[in-house]
Each structure stands twice: as structure tokens, then as C-alpha cells.
Amino acid sequence: MSLPVILRPEAEADIECIHDELEALRAGLGGQFVAEVRRAIQHIEAMPEMYGVVWNDLRAARLRRFRHIVYYVLFTDRVELIAVMHGSRDSSDWQSRV
């Protein structure tokens, strides 16, 4: 079951912010992060039920190379990305977006 993935503005802002922080640490690292997020989105799009529910209807996909997590909600006709955050962040940061 393939569904379109929609990035909420907050999730887009998360990705941009993390990209900029990683680029400041090392040139090219932000681009690698964005590529990893894109891979995760492709997996979510192809198999949205692949990742488990972590809170209410919210699902989480951990990135392979980075310690960040993509949080999303599965609807019958689409997937909405809620947040992309470091795994050590307080859960209230992403829970407040649902």
C-alpha cells in the first residue's frame, strides 16, 4: 500500500534546521542527513505500516546513520510527517504537534 507523504511545515523546518547545524559541523554532513531523510520517506511512502506506533496514532522511523527520528501519522489516503528530531529530545516536543 503506497501512500503520498506530506511534510508539515514544522517537519520541513526541522529538516532545514538540522541540515544547517550539521553543515556547520562538517561540510557535506547536512546533505548526507537530507539524503537519509529522503530514504526514510521513500520507505514510509512504500510501506507506511512498516514502522511501529509510539504514541496514539503516531509512528516513528529511526534514521540509520543519524540519531534522528521521523515522526508521522498514517491516514487512509496519505501520510503526514509531523517532525524530524534527535532521538534524545523530550517526547513532548513532538507530541505537541499532533
What is the DSSP-derived secondary structure letter of residue 77? S
Measured distance CA(68)–CA(18) in Å, rounded = 9
Name the pLDDT band for 1 (thresholds 50, 70, 90).
confident
pLDDT of residue 89: 83
Question: How do residues 50-98 score in pLDDT, each as one tens digit?
Answer: 999 999 999 999 999 999 999 999 999 999 999 999 998 877 777 777 7
Name the pLDDT band for 2 (thresholds 50, 70, 90).
confident
**CATH number corresponding to 5-95:** 3.30.2310.20
Residues forming a β-bridge with 73: 58, 80
pLDDT of residue 90: 76
Torsion of CA 30, 36, 39, 44, to 10 degrees: -110
pLDDT of residue 48: 94
Residue 67 grid cell: 540519531
Question: How do residues 15-41 score in pLDDT, each as one tens digit?
Answer: 999 999 999 999 999 999 999 999 999
